[in-house]
Amino acid sequence: MPSKFAGRQAAFFAPALLALAILPCNAYADRYRTTQSDFGGVGLLQTPTARFAEDGNFSFNANRVSPYSRYSISVQPLPWMEGTLRYTTLNNRRYSSSEAFSGDQSLKDKAMDAKFRLWQESYWMPQLAVGFIDAAGTGLFSSEYFVANKRFWDLDLSLGIAWGYHGNRGDISNPFGGLRDKERAGRAEGDRGGNFNTSTYFSGPAAFFGGVEYQTPWDRLRLKVEFDGNDYRSEPGDPSFDAADSRINLGAVFQVRNGIDISAGWERGNTAMIGITFQTNLKTGRGPQKFLDPEPEARQPLPAGVAGQNVDWVDVSSRLKDNAGFEVEEIAIKDREVIITGEQRTFRDEAEGVTRASRILDNSLGEGSYDWYTLVNKPRGMAVSETSIKPQSLRDYEDNSTDVQGLRRGIVNATPSVVSKDVVHTPELDKFDWGLSLGYKQNMGGPDGFILYQFLARANAEYRFNRNNWVRGTLGANLINNFDKFEHRGSSNMPRVRTYIREYLVTSDVVLENLQYTWTKRLDRDVYAMAYGGLLESMFGGVGGEVLYRPFDAGWAIGVDANWVKQRGFRQDFDFRDYSTWTGHITGYSQTKFWDILAKGSAGRYLAGDYGATLDLSRRFSSGVIVGAWATKTNVSSEEFGEGSFDKGIYFTFPFDAFFAKSSTSSGTIAWNPTTRDGGARLSRQYSLYNMTGARDIEWFNDGFGRMVE
């Protein structure tokens, strides 16, 4: 789950900035690249195809075809699966039948789509896919389909059959016969949306759809022709909506540059369409060149063997911090091994920090002095992993005397062990740190305004008593804010633990967002612990703790957290309200071999006192970007939960160095959560032991090693 409450309100549009930030600038992609449909997801215009983008593809799409404006994000989290999130503005329909409720807002429909590849194209056989549009939304545009594609040189032909919205033309009776209802049932009265209404899938009459996509001799230009399965006579809006004059839609896509497409079309025989798509690949995008990083220390002529007592370890420690990003806790010698203990605070790729550090040690110690350089990674005072490298292997690789595999054989990753050693240097701890940043919170798609937002100026400060004990706080100053429009319209009897968002964001212009004391410790070889107390987040303060069991390179872990919290006052100072509760979870982690998906399952008590479980599935790409989705189901009924029926959403965690020309170990999370509700709400803890101990997984190092030697 995203660790920040602010993340739950984060921008729907912000991922477009991610696309722009890490767009590759290389040559144009192949002539048969995929393009997006009006609804988002790979397709023609109104209709989907059986094509899929490259693994890791990410796109932000916006288009206008009266009376709809559509904004969507499509992601290819797996080679055979496509997911799309979409907001549709229905300009011909108010937010609700009540003018007092709707205000001046038109209806904003939220939808989640999914498409799955059933068969990959071969010489004789077409590619086949099945898809679900608006599978768990309001159902206004819900549809299911099967579609096939076959390519003939520059022509890509598609043909499919759809039920629901895309099959409203009703060309044929339901091919499933008595297996599904002959009529497609609408949603039941009082249905809050957000549930997977499987009883309606593939029901009712159906229609054919399809078309042709033609790659012109000019690589930048793609032409599209399709025949639509919808007759537009039962649109979810004003009944005066113009029905289709033709079921043939025409369109063109122009590639402005690699990663930016502009599309235009003539649809329904009477309506123009225009749109834009930004896309990149989360698997291969690297962000800007790190020209603000210091160059790796140049190789110096190796001095003759130098004894440890003759080395200027103060200078070595300073260079390790400035050039290798490694903040040294101590330097020790054991036989012919130099052991550097500390924390990597600059380079997200641990392998880069290790090789930079090895060069620094080589330049200082010379050839023949020591057989191994070992770096013990100890984030927040907890020894997590150690990496040992043979300096001769690194020299051979730099001299082209060995290949990448030879270099890798000279590197050993292991769990830190306690050994007898001679400490030769212990630098003084830098106890105080501070910084400035910009904060942003957002809520989308409500009757009070399509976008409710707040921009904050933030000042962050941290004081370390020692490496395992520190206090960190964040002071925020309101810059721009329109959350005064937000009104809570729920009628639930649940404690209001999240729906006071308006009060928290408009009561004071200067707020103390958090102020937390944290203590960490490695209890045993594979056991880590953390305790904390203070103003834990913007809405709750209290005390809590976490224990994590994570065997080295095992691919799994299990943790327990328990917290007593009290609701903070709306001014976000040191005042508290009357509500308090216990909350906590048991969480299991499994780094699967199934496309490297991390599965997290949690069970426990949530902030509103409800009990239930959360499933979180995510995939970390080699670029460092993480794409994930979560769903929480508790003992709160759909009616009591309200709109959305249960808590769910998706998130993107991206490294900051995807945006900047300087390396950083920091990351941020952008989350899309359809509604702000009280059911299934979790405490937004500042730190997670699982994230802090990421280097326990050797793949964490290997990913960085692979990027380093490419």
Instruction: Look at residue 9 in the predicted model and tell me its pLDDT.
Output: 40
Contact 633, 646 (CB under 8 A): yes
Contact 170, 135 (CB under 8 A): no
Contact 377, 340 (CB under 8 A): no
Please report, in angstroms and rounded to a whole number, the separation of the first and last CA atoms in the chain. Answer: 32
Tell me the pTM: 0.85
d(CA 81, CA 85) in angstroms, rounded, equals: 14
Contact 248, 230 (CB under 8 A): no
HSE-CB of 430 using CA atoms within 13 angstroms: 10
**Where is mean pLDDT largest: 324-328, 412-416, 674-678?**
324-328
**Lowest mean per-residue pLDDT among 52-66, 88-102, 328-342, 635-649:** 88-102
In this predicted structure, the answer to whether residue 125 has a pLDDT above a threshold of 70 is: yes
Assign residue 391 a region: left if phi > 0, alpha if psi is -120 to 50, beta otherwise?
A: alpha
In this predicted structure, the answer to whether residue 47 has a pLDDT above a threshold of 80 is: yes
In this predicted structure, the answer to whether residue 657 has a pLDDT above a threshold of 90 is: no
| Residues sharing a CB contact under 8 Å with residue 295, sequence separation 6 or more, in sequence order | none
In this prediction, what percent of the chain has a pLDDT beyond 90?
54
pLDDT digits (tens, 9 = 90+) for 474-506: 999 999 888 877 776 555 688 999 989 889 988
pLDDT digits (tens, 9 = 90+) for 156-206: 999 999 999 999 898 888 888 766 666 676 554 445 555 666 777 888 889
Q: What average pLDDT does the structure give for the chain?
A: 85
| Residues sharing a CB contact under 8 Å with residue 648, sequence separation 6 or more, in sequence order | 136, 194, 629, 630, 631, 632, 673, 674
DSSP 358-375: HHHHHHHH-TTS-SEEEE
Backbone angles phi, psi at 670, to 5 degrees: -110, 120
CB atoms within 10 A of CB 289: 8
d(CA 455, CA 481) in angstroms, rounded, equals: 7
Go through the chain and tell me how many residues it has: 710
Three-state secondary structure readout of 590-612: EECCCCCEEEEEEEEECCCCCEE
SS3 18: helix
Per-residue tokens: 38: 């009006």
d(CA 566, CA 580) in angstroms, rounded, equals: 4
Per-residue tokens: 335: 């036989």
Instruction: Look at residue 399 in the predicted model and tell me its pLDDT.
Output: 82
Q: Confidence class of residue 26 from pLDDT cuts 50, 70 and 90?
A: very low
